[in-house]
């Protein structure tokens, strides 16, 4: 059995160099493990279509990944005239770019755009990697024009609760940190966006076994990103203990195991 992937998402602050590195490496494997990401991106695109202001011509796909949200927006009704894809990891930027539209490799916490550059910002399962959600969203507010719209998804507290329990019972690690829904909604409002809200939408997937959960997270690039943490659990003994603890936490001594994702959908409008 191979060494385990890193299995715990980090405590703040996230090391942006590690975020860039891990998602860059995962660009080639991401799509094989991204069932949830596809579903959530489709919901972000659908929510955008219901809320988008008339004449939303220039849209930013913030943390584009391999391009699920952008692809959905450009295939559906009301496609923007220009969709700019941005990701911290250059291999993701290249894969997430919609043909015929621009792409930029850059940091969501330091957006390289002038004030009022976009009619809307969409983002799917990126904002959980922000070290300060309110500060990141203030940057989004700055680049939106008056009347502009934010539609985003993120991960909330309760995500991967089974893995969190298994980690605490083996090496003392934790999954997260993730915000509660009211905290995420408060960050949207504090960033200067009107009618800020966070709509929680928990989902439970099934995996063949705990090892499939760990491999899936590694394939997505969702591994520990703080510079001081040991690089995962190593060796058969530790990996076996983690998998047993996962089953104990779920009450599933054999067969498939649950994987909980607590997705939150964020919405806000810029007033001036």
> For 23-66, how does the pLDDT look when each residue is reduced to its tens digit (9 = 90+)?
999 999 999 999 999 999 999 999 999 998 777 899 999 999 99
Provide the pLDDT for residue 128. 94
pLDDT digits (tens, 9 = 90+) for 126-153: 999 998 999 999 999 999 999 999 999 9
- Asked whether the bond before 122 is cis by omega within 30 degrees of 0, the reply is no
Question: Which residues are CB-contacts of 32 (< 8 A; sequence separation ≥ 6)?
Answer: 219
Decide if pLDDT at 95 tops 70. Answer: yes
Q: Which residue has the higher pLDDT, 259 or 14?
A: 259
In this prediction, residue 8 carries a pLDDT of 41
- Domain at 16-270: CATH code: 3.40.50.150
Nearest to 121 by CA among 66, 77, 82: 82
CA 151/CA 46 separation, integer angstroms? 10
Contact predicate 87/96, CB 8 Å: yes
Which pLDDT does position 78 carry in this prediction? 82
Asked if residue 170 lies in contact with residue 245, where contact means CB atoms within 8 angstroms, the answer is yes
**pLDDT (mean) for 68-83:** 91
Residue 239: band (very low, low, confident or very high) from pLDDT cuts 50, 70, 90: confident
Contact 150, 144 (CB under 8 A): yes
pLDDT score at 176: 76
- Determine the 3-state secondary structure of 49 from DSSP: helix
Per-residue pLDDT at 118 exceeds 90: yes
Query: What's the pTM?
Result: 0.89
State yes or no: pLDDT of 271 exceeds 60. Answer: yes
* Cα 197 to the center of its chain, rounded Å: 17
Task: Spell out where 48-178 has E strands.
Answer: 58-62, 82-87, 103-105, 118-124, 144-155
pLDDT of residue 1: 28
Residue 233 has pLDDT above 90, yes or no: no
Tell me the two tokens of residue 191.
Answer: 């960033």
Count CB atoms within 10 A of the CB of residue 206. 11
Decide: 96 and 103 in contact? Cβ < 8 Å: yes
Q: Is the pLDDT of residue 250 over 90?
A: yes
How high is the pLDDT of residue 13?
A: 58
Residue-averaged pLDDT of the chain: 89
| pLDDT tens digit sequence for 154-212 | 999 999 999 999 998 887 778 878 999 999 999 999 999 999 999 999 999 999 999 99
Q: How far, in Å, CA of 76 to CA of 237, rounded?
A: 50
Do β-strands 82-87 and 103-105 pair in parallel, antiparallel, or remain unpaired? Answer: parallel
Distance CA 38, CA 31 (A): 9
Angle at 20 between CA 121 and CA 185, to 5 degrees: 40
């Amino acid at each position: 059995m191979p060494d385990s992937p890193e299995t715990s998402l980090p405590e703040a602050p996230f090391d942006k160099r590690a975020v860039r590195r891990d998602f860059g490496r995962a660009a080639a494997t991401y799509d094989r493990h991204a069932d949830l990401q596809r579903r959530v991106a489709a919901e972000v695109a659908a929510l955008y279509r219901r809320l988008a202001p008339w004449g939303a011509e220039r849209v930013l796909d913030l943390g584009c990944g391999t391009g699920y949200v952008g692809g959905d927006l450009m295939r559906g009704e009301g496609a923007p005239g220009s969709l700019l894809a941005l990701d911290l990891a250059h291999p993701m930027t290249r894969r997430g770019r919609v043909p015929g539209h621009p792409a930029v490799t850059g940091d969501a916490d330091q957006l390289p755009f002038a004030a009022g550059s976009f009619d809307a910002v969409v983002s799917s399962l990126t904002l959980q990697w922000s070290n300060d959600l309110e500060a990141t969203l203030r940057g989004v507010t700055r680049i939106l024009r008056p009347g502009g719209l934010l539609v985003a998804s993120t991960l909330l507290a309760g995500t991967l609760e089974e893995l969190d329990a298994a980690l605490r019972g083996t090496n003392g690690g934790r999954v997260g940190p993730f915000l509660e829904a009211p905290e995420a909604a408060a960050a949207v409002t504090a960033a200067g966006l009107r009618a800020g809200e966070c709509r929680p939408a928990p989902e439970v997937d099934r995996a063949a076994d705990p090892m499939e959960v760990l491999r899936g997270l590694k394939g997505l690039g969702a591994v520990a990103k703080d510079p001081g943490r040991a690089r995962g659990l190593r060796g058969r003994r530790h990996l076996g203990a983690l998998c047993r603890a996962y089953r104990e936490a779920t009450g599933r001594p054999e067969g498939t195991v649950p994987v909980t994702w607590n997705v939150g959908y964020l919405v806000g409008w810029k007033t001036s």
